[in-house]
């Protein structure tokens, strides 16, 4: 017999949006249960302060769940995708491994259809989201400097920016000469002591977990507060389906606990915060009588319009020791020179560039670019040329959402409890390919102007699917979107989605800040309207 208990609100997923939502509800006195299929991470286990860091980052701490293969992970069928998925299952979610670039959307990102005739407009504008950006930056702890002319006026960041490094100084000077935009990087990384967290030690191992707690991972910034307010966080809890009652309301979920027992949690409100891949997967595999195509999917849009942020990299090599094995693997500086549409370039929308250090010897040896050598003496020459004497432009392209780029359920692959795995169907379109080719050439110009002796490029990096977005699109029209402008399901009025799956368009900037702001906005709206909220009887 399935064990059963109850809560006021049930949140699925303990990552960025789940943590923000759970904490805000608890602050309002709401009884919250959060189910997370992963576990807590011990910062002492992170590989960043160990000599074997680079080996660990390519294996047990790899961001691709198919490579990492933790018991908490679910496999993702990605042989039908040009880009592999990057995500983490555990308390803190992908913030545990993310590079912590913290960027707001640009105002134009909310009006893509009006401005450029592609995709769709968001149901609100930048100004409506700005107050929530302000609040989450203080909660997370973001370092940066206000005044970037590419953005509207904004308050100062909670902390000053991190150092841009010798490589950043060279590139910044080059962009001054070229007349191109640049700005010191904004990162969810502490530049000084902040709310009990230590400042960044500039070891450049951010993507393997932060041993010092300098990175704004929500297991540090939000979950301790949420637990102190009584949130019931259950780890090792793998949800298999959402249960919908005869009145068309979500009454809870069924899950397997850490011991393998099947359990049910009933709740007045159910909130999905399980990542754009995981949320779409759960809605689709909850199909039942009345919801044959998946729960909350009368529009047929659940899983569709997947965006993955195609990414290129350009490496610049210098005849000077820039100490570029150090730094933070967030962004030293960024450029939005080519972020807005200019149709003379042959494509619409644009890309954000972020400058990062170039890591250690193993990364140098194995980094896939157009100049990568074979084995033997070439490897030694490459590492000598690379180590401490190079920098990398990461180029993130905005991709246009297409209905055929989507998440479906795989018929042959399943997780540890027999639930079907998600399958990614994603192809980089001609617009994005033209964009990346253009950006690679401009990034070469940037480095050469900065004094680089040469460059290498990776025109499309496949292992970069950090930013899966759009699979439960937001909108005012229930025929073309899954949730409304307040993140509530059009079909099921007590079911909400607060993760990146609700994005209408993807921008070219990293999505974490917008995911966080949207989650806070949706939760505030739920609290404001709770007396009018329909709930199961």
Decide if 373 is inside a domain: no
**Distance, CA of 41 to CA of 50 (rounded, Å):** 16
Phi and psi at residue 317, to the nearest 5°: -110, 140
Decide if 376 is inside a domain: no
260-269, 376-385, 389-398: range with lowest mean pLDDT = 376-385
Per-residue pLDDT band for 370 (boundaries 50, 70, 90) equals confident
Q: What is the pLDDT of residues 16-29, one digit of tens each?
A: 999 999 999 999 99
Q: What is the pLDDT of residues 433-478, one digit of tens each?
A: 999 999 999 999 999 999 999 999 999 999 999 999 999 999 999 9
Do residues 180 and 337 lie in contact, with contact meaning Cβ atoms separated by under 8 Å?
yes
Decide if 186 is inside a domain: yes
Decide if 378 is inside a domain: no
pLDDT for res 134: 98
pLDDT for res 132: 98
Decide if 377 is inside a domain: no
b/e string for 252-289 if b means 16 or more Cβ within 10 A? bbbbbeeeeeebbbbbbbbbbbbbbbbbbbbbbbbeee
Decide if 268 is inside a domain: yes
**Distance, CA of 154 to CA of 127 (rounded, Å):** 11
The helix-helix angle for 512-528 and 16-27 (nearest 10°) equals 30
Do residues 224 and 213 lie in contact, with contact meaning Cβ atoms separated by under 8 Å?
no
**Above 60 in pLDDT, residue 122?**
yes
Q: What is the pLDDT of residues 294-324, one digit of tens each?
A: 999 999 999 999 999 999 999 999 999 999 9
Decide if 382 is inside a domain: no
Do residues 185 and 217 lie in contact, with contact meaning Cβ atoms separated by under 8 Å?
no
Do residues 347 and 431 lie in contact, with contact meaning Cβ atoms separated by under 8 Å?
yes
375-389, 424-438, 505-519: range with lowest mean pLDDT = 375-389
Q: How many independent structural domains does the chain possess?
A: 1
Do residues 425 and 288 lie in contact, with contact meaning Cβ atoms separated by under 8 Å?
no
CA distances from 460 to 394, 395, 405 (A): 11, 10, 17
pTM confidence score: 0.97
The helix-helix angle for 512-528 and 126-140 (nearest 10°) equals 100
Per-residue pLDDT band for 1 (boundaries 50, 70, 90) equals very low
**Distance, CA of 446 to CA of 440 (rounded, Å):** 10
Q: What is the pLDDT of residues 180-189, one digit of tens each?
A: 999 999 999 9
Look at the block and give the residue holding tokens 């997947």. Answer: 306
Decide if 119 is inside a domain: yes
**Above 50 in pLDDT, residue 3?**
yes
Give me the CATH number covering residue 241. 3.50.50.60
Domain extent at residue 213:
3-357+389-528
């Amino acid at each position: 017999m399935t064990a059963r208990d109850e809560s006021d609100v049930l949140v699925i997923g303990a990552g960025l949006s789940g943590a923000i939502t759970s904490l805000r509800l608890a602050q309002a006195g709401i009884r919250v249960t959060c189910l997370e299929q992963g576990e807590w991470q011990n910062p002492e286990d992170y590989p960043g302060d160990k000599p074997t860091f680079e080996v660990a980052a390519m294996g047990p701490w790899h961001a691709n769940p198919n490579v990492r293969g933790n018991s908490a992970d679910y496999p993702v069928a990605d042989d039908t995708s040009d880009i592999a998925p990057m995500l983490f299952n555990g308390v803190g979610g992908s913030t545990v491994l993310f590079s912590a670039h913290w960027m707001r959307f640009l105002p134009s990102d909310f009006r893509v259809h009006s401005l450029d005739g592609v995709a769709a407009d968001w149901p609100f504008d930048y100004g409506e989201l700005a107050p929530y950006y302000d609040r989450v930056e203080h909660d997370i702890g973001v370092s940066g400097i206000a005044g970037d002319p590419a953005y509207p006026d904004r308050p100062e960041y909670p902390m000053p920016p991190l150092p841009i490094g010798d490589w950043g100084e060279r590139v910044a000077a080059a962009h001054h000469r070229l007349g191109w935009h640049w700005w010191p990087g904004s990162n969810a990384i502490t530049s000084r002591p902040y709310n009990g967290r230590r400042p960044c030690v500039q070891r450049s191992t951010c993507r393997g977990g932060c041993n010092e707690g300098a990175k704004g991972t929500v297991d540090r910034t939000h979950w301790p507060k949420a637990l102190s307010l009584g949130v019931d966080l259950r780890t090792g809890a793998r949800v298999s389906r959402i249960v919908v009652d005869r009145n068309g309301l979500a009454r809870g979920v069924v899950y397997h606990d850490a011991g393998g027992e099947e359990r049910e949690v009933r709740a007045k409100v159910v909130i999905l915060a399980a990542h754009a891949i995981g949320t779409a997967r759960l809605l689709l595999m909850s199909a039942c009588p009345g919801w044959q195509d998946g729960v909350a999917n009368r529009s047929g849009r659940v899983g569709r319009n997947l965006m993955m942020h195609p990414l290129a990299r350009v490496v610049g090599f210098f005849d000077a020791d820039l100490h570029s094995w150090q730094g933070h693997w967030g962004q030293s500086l960024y450029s939005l020179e080519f972020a807005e549409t200019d149709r003379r370039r042959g494509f619409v929308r644009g890309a954000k560039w972020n400058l990062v250090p170039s890591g250690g010897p193993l990364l140098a040896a194995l980094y896939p670019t157009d100049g990568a050598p074979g084995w033997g003496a070439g490897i030694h020459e490459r590492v000598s040329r690379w180590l401490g004497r190079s920098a990398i432009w990461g180029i993130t392209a905005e991709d246009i959402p297409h209905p055929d780029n989507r998440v479906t359920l795989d018929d042959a692959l399943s997780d540890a409890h027999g639930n079907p795995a998600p399958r990614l169907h994603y192809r980089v379109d001609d617009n994005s390919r033209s964009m990346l080719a253009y950006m690679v050439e401009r990034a070469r110009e940037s480095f050469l102007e900065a004094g680089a002796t040469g460059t290498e490029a990776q025109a499309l990096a496949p292992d970069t699917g950090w930013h899966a977005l759009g699979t439960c699109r937001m909108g005012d029209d229930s025929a073309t979107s899954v949730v409304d402008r307040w993140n509530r399901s059009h079909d099921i009025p007590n079911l909400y989605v607060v993760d990146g799956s609700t994005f209408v368009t993807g921008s070219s900037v990293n999505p974490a800040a917008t995911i966080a702001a949207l989650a806070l906005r949706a939760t505030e709206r739920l609290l404001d309207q709770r007396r009018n909220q329909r709930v199961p009887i």
